[in-house]
Amino acid sequence: MTKQTILKFGAVDHAEAGDLPGWIVVEGRPTMQTAVQHTTEDGKVMSGTWRATPGTYHATYTDYEFVHMIAGRIIITPDGGEPVEVGPGDAFVVEADFKGTWQILEPVTKHFVVVVG
């Protein structure tokens, strides 16, 4: 069998509900769903789709993440830092040592790539 070297993300039909480790609700009643759609053979890189509803989380990262926003708006504020607003079409990275808030203003859909440190 030939190893698949291209994977196009389709509709999400298997998202896991529940908050990610290191994410704590600090305002509102946000919910999230995560669909890991691909993992490398060595398990060090995961990619997929994430959805969340409005509210605010305090997040503590242990891994590097690349994000491409599909829908929604978020204000991300590092502890002691300046807020950054992101929306549809924006792409950004979050370093592995990030700690701060994700204020979800509108329902969010994002594609992500996480590199496990």
Q: What length does the chain have?
A: 117
Beta-carbon contacts of 22 under 8 Å, excluding residues fewer than 6 positions away, are: 59, 60, 61, 62
Residue 2 has pLDDT above 80, yes or no: no
Q: What is the DSSP letter of 14?
A: -
What gap in Å lies between CA 108 and CA 73, rounded to an integer? 7
Amino acid letter, residue 58: H
Q: What is the pLDDT of residues 59-91, one digit of tens each?
A: 999 999 999 999 999 999 999 999 999 999 999
Which domains are delineated in the chain? 17-115 (2.60.120.10)
Bridge partners for 32 per DSSP: 52
Q: Three-class SS of residue 49?
A: strand
What average pLDDT score do residues 25-45 get? 95
